[in-house]
Structure 1
């Protein structure tokens, strides 16, 4: 279960962060850019797609949000204990992959509440989505950096111990 020395782990990490920053609140990035540049029909499409996504997301949060949060915290805690309490490399890789992704999902729920509360549309919505995308990308860069450093230290220490 070598994770940090496996190319597949790094491919999964890159794909996870690529997909996390490509679709913001259900809207693809190219639609946001098109709506910002051209307006009109593209802006209405963006308003519709994001509105549907926000309603769906908030329906789930309002119905089962506490259960989902509790389950996520339980799983992350168990993985954290296995990762750092028992020094299981696979659990470390999973924890370093999923913790920042869960953080971005929390920020997406927060943005969904803001969009609903402020009834964001058109230019305000586009700015909020682009700002959220930038925040997701920053979290992704930090997460990839921390994972790379941790993985490098783990592989180097395993190499030194095996000598």
Structure 2
């Protein structure tokens, strides 16, 4: 057995039967739902409960990340959209068109994250005019909380679909053996 065969056997490129894939999936969605537009949600909760400095910190951090996201979207949005569309199409075609399981696993993470990215841009565009008029922290916190619920909904659907597809793939492989 050569070194390449040893590495592939150790890593196990069949993603849906690999514990590390499921750990990575959980970490991705946990992190995605915790960092709402780059603002940690515990800061949003603290700003709602206590206000004061926590509220001001949340407003500053939201302003920084909102401007950053919108600047990226305005300056490089077309190029990023084209590049992401190409890569996602390639991954989906490799995975579901040609049956490459690793590409399926990547697609089942990347596609919903793309939806979350678009939702984040939309939410940033909604928050920008609110921040321009020096709002109360509660108003911005409510927008961030609503965005988080939407992200969690996308994550719930994505995890469910991934789990069902992974079980289907594992059952299909066990029948073929």
In the alignment, what sits opposite 1:94? Answer: 106
**Residues 130, 140 of structure 2: 8 Å contact kept:** no
Distance 1:31 1:145 in 2: 29
In the alignment, what sits opposite 2:60? Answer: 48
Q: What's the CA shift for 1:118?
A: 3.5
Q: What's the CA shift for 1:117?
A: 3.0
1:140 aligns with 2:155: yes
In the alignment, what sits opposite 1:64? Answer: 76
Distance 1:97 1:27 in 2: 22
In the alignment, what sits opposite 2:140? Answer: 125
Distance 2:68 2:130 in 1: 17
Consecutive aligned runs of 4 or more in structure 1 exceeding 6 Å deviation? none
Structure label with greater radius of gyration: 2
Q: How many residues align?
A: 162
In the alignment, what sits opposite 1:7? Answer: 19
Q: What's the CA shift for 1:124?
A: 1.6
Segments of 5+ residues of structure 1 without an aligned counterpart are none
Segments of 5+ residues of structure 2 without an aligned counterpart are 1-12
1:150 aligns with 2:165: yes
Q: Deviations over 1:41-74 (max 9, x none)?
A: 1111100000001111111111101101111111
In the alignment, what sits opposite 2:95? Answer: 83
Aligned-residue CA RMSD (Å): 1.0
1:67 aligned counterpart, secondary structure: helix
2:17 aligned counterpart, secondary structure: coil
Of the structure 1 ranges 89-98 and 121-130, higher mean CA displacement relative to structure 2 is found in 121-130
In the alignment, what sits opposite 2:45? Answer: 33
User: How does the TM-score come out when normalised to structure 1?
Assistant: 0.96
User: How does the TM-score come out when normalised to structure 2?
Assistant: 0.89
